[in-house]
Chain A
């Protein structure tokens, strides 16, 4: 008997000993708990994060792991561990402003935008007043967010069925004042990305195309040059969504169309003018037109001096009756007068008006509001053609989220192209004052609306924030290829963005939405299961061994004690 017992004990000890490595392995497996696929995954776009001369702006954090809350939360509830979900439709700017200015702590902010603001959503051409209202609201919100220093992650997402269902659920539970008691009700939003890092040396890329004029007797370099310039990059609250259809997609499209028309004219030596044409797509527009400045400085001095005048295109896509020419030289300057007269004559013929606006340059102020100011600082006559009447502030009108395809009117662009082309042609071929239409409709030199539309659609689906565009970005390659078709020489210049602007990466992420149950639910379930197993055990013991056995299970310890005594 004793031997058997001992061997049994040894056996048990050996079994236990062999279990240890298995247990250890199990613990290791348990330690690496992978998160399962969530029921819902949504694409989200982060608010931009940047510094100007070391001063931080935008949202400073990117990863998120909190419960969802909605606007119907109880007053005074602590939201520092919640993500507030704000649909744009119910946004109250004052509330957001208060939250940011009072520096109240918040786990995160998720802004839901209507589907009409999605780039590539060309449908819904009619601008309803509701959409206009949202557009204004979005513009205000962007301004607030871009110029503030926000210590929590801010993300933009587009409404879809799943987010709507989740938001409805969250609102219902918040109204009841509960967080997550039962199985449905608690939502956890998780975005797992690494901390944002500085973009090491952001590059800005300028693309220039040179169309030489016909030399009569001498070198073509002695021919005067006319430059047409547009900046193609944008800046907005969400860099992955800043497509900037009007600012400055419209300018880029107009430049490309003018280049195409003049390349047709210049391809035939008989119609080649006595002016060189220089087309430039510059970058770094929102940052005081840094790209334009660097491009100008890189030009050969003789070339720069040969520029008669330069026309800069900025936001020419959504105007009705009046375009504005902004200049920095005083209006009574002879050159300016000549340019303006040429433009206004053509405009009259085409049925709209052009007005002249003068803004003096303040050399001590580093802010460059219009692109022509960079030319004027290097003593080149220039003017900006734009629908905007007031000079934009820093980082304003630079292609924000509200600047989508629906804002741009193709006809406005076509009218603008006609204006620029006819005026340039009049100047080049010396037809001032005569009533000649070179780029008439139904001619081989007509403005091609399909070309305009296809490039506009492409640009309205391509976010173009310069620090996030690599040197060989497909868009830059496409623009270069397009200019190569219409001009004789194309050169691409890569520069790095100056030190005062610093950008951080991590612009796009995936949001996982989990429906979670609270700990109380799990405890309750454990209780229920425990009692079920105990009942099952007693039932089985009673039916198979009899009630006495069940009672005897509980009476063993006392009986042993009795035996010992």
Chain B
């Protein structure tokens, strides 16, 4: 029975990635290689982030929100963005249209993130007899993360891969990218200063992810118009 719960949470956490891959034209164009490369880049980025965090950050016992620590964490978070840039722009991919490239990269990135951050707690925690809602919420968070990552990849591809962009849209693109990149800091701020509990934070993340996805979609379509 408890393995049942583990199975449920696992399909909630990792199912959407597989569904996304099979439902969209990504599977037709066989972009698995791109996703795998993106996952490897994510692993390297995570290692670099870890080393930086260990070197520069002080571990505080209490849950107090320290603005300097949080600013430092946000700056280290931008290493994420740098990694995504590397995966999008620098790696050579097979001839895939830009449309699919950012999707594949975002998917691989989000999948690696989920596996790294959520698989181990799930395996250890969800199999026990004790029931908590934590793992279901974690799965929902993974879904929100997927949407965030794909939006960020979309905006990233707009920023770095598309040369002709309407001037008026550039600041909006950059603002949205910054918002998405600093999501971890925003959630930790909410958790510590405002005292929100996990379910509320997950709800907020889901809503924000949908909003951001909608905005990035619109931006992408708007940017595509001149080339058509």
Contact = CB atoms under 8 A, between A and B. Distances in A.
Interface string A524-565: 011001001100111011001100000000000000000000
A364 to B, nearest CB: 57
A2 interface: no
Nearest to B10: A529
B23 A536 contact: yes
Given A522-B1, A529-B15, A35 B128 contact: yes
B130 A544 contact: no
A519 interface: yes
Contacts of A540: 19-20, 23-24
Contact of B11 (A33, A529, A541): A529
B129 A36 contact: yes
B8 A514 contact: no
Interface string B16-30: 100110111100000
A190 interface: yes
B130 A33 contact: no
B64 interface: no
Contacts of B127: 33-34, 36
Interface in A505-527: 514-517, 519, 522, 525-526
Given A515-B130, A533-B15, A544 B24 contact: yes
Interface in A372-419: none
Interface string A32-48: 01111111000000000
Counting contact residues on chain A (CB < 8 A from B), the size range is 20 to 34
Contacts of A522: 1, 4-5, 8
A165 interface: no
A533 B19 contact: yes
Nearest to B21: A540
B71 to A, nearest CB: 36
B131 A183 contact: yes
Contacts of B20: 536, 540
Contacts of B4: 519, 522, 526
A453 interface: no
Contact of A537 (B11, B19, B25, B136): B19
Nearest to A525: B8
Given A36-B124, A36-B129, A517-B131, A537 B8 contact: no
A81 interface: no
Contacts of A190: 129
Top 9 closest pairs, chain A to chain B, by CB: A36-B128, A540-B23, A514-B129, A517-B131, A544-B24, A522-B4, A514-B130, A537-B23, A541-B23
5 contacts: A33-B2, A525-B5, A525-B136, A540-B20, A544-B23
